[in-house]
Amino acid sequence: MTVTVIAYHRAMGRWEPDARGRLAKAAMGLYAEQGFEQTTVAEIAARAGLTERTFFRHFADKREVLFYGTEMLRDLLTRAVADAPPSATALDAVGAAFEAACATMQENPERVRLRDAIVAANADLRERELIKLAALGAAVAGALRDRGIPDPAASLAAETGVAVFKIAFARWVSEPGQPDLPGAFRESMAELKGVLADRAPA
C-alpha cells in the first residue's frame, strides 16, 4: 500500500532512529493496542515507514521482535556468575546472577509488565519465551562450568535458578503493589531451600 516513505532516514550524517528500533517500537505498540494475532507484519512495517520484507531482514519472525533484550540479559547473567566470589557455591552464584537480572528488569517495570502481558496472552509467544529462558539457563550452566563446576551439577543449578526465577517473576507480575522483583526472587530462592531441606530422610 505505498506507504509514504518519509525519508528522514539520514538527518545529518548519521542514521535516524534505526530501522530495527523503529520496527520494535511499532510492533510493541500494535501488539499492545490490537493484540499479537490481530497485527500483521505489514502493519508493523507501515507504521515504521518500512516494508514487510525489511522487517524480516531485522527479525527472524513476527515473535522475535518481542525478545529483543534477551542477549543483553544473557550477558548480564553470565558475567554475574563469573564475577561471583570464589567461595560461592553453584547455587549462590546462580542466585546472585538472577538477582542482578531482576534488578535490571526493575528499572523499567511498566515496560516489562506490558511485554509480559502481551506474551502471556498468546500461546506462540509463551512458547518462544520458554525457549529463550531455556537458552538463558544453558548460558548460565556454561558460565558455571567455566567456574570449574562439573556438568550435572552446573546444569542442575542453572535449571533450578531459571525455575525459581519464573516463579518469582510470575508472583511479581501478579502483585501490582509489589515493586521489588529481586526481593521476590530472594524469597522464592529461600523457599526452595526450605522445601529441599524438608525432605524425608528415607
Residues that bind DNA (CB under 7 A): 2, 5, 9-10, 12-13, 15, 18-19, 39-42, 45, 49-54, 56-58, 60-63
Please choose which of DNA, its own copies, none residue 58 contacts, taking the beta carbon within 5 to 8 angstroms, the exact cut-off set by kind: DNA
What cell numbers appear for 5 in the block? 516513505
Count of alpha carbons within 13 angstroms of residue 110, beta-carbon side? 2
Overall size of the chain counted in residues: 202
How distant is the alpha carbon of residue 19 from its chain centre? 21
Please choose which of DNA, its own copies, none residue 100 contacts, taking the beta carbon within 5 to 8 angstroms, the exact cut-off set by kind: none
CB of 124 to DNA, least distance (A): 9
Q: Which amino acid is at 41?
A: V
Q: Which of 142, 200, 193, 189 lies closest to 167, judged by CA? A: 189
Please choose which of its own copies, DNA, none residue 89 contacts, taking the beta carbon within 5 to 8 angstroms, the exact cut-off set by kind: its own copies
CB of 177 to its own copies, least distance (A): 18
Q: Decide: 29 and 61 in contact? Cβ < 8 Å.
A: no
Q: Which amino acid is at 136?
A: L
CB of 59 to DNA, least distance (A): 8
CB of 65 to its own copies, least distance (A): 16
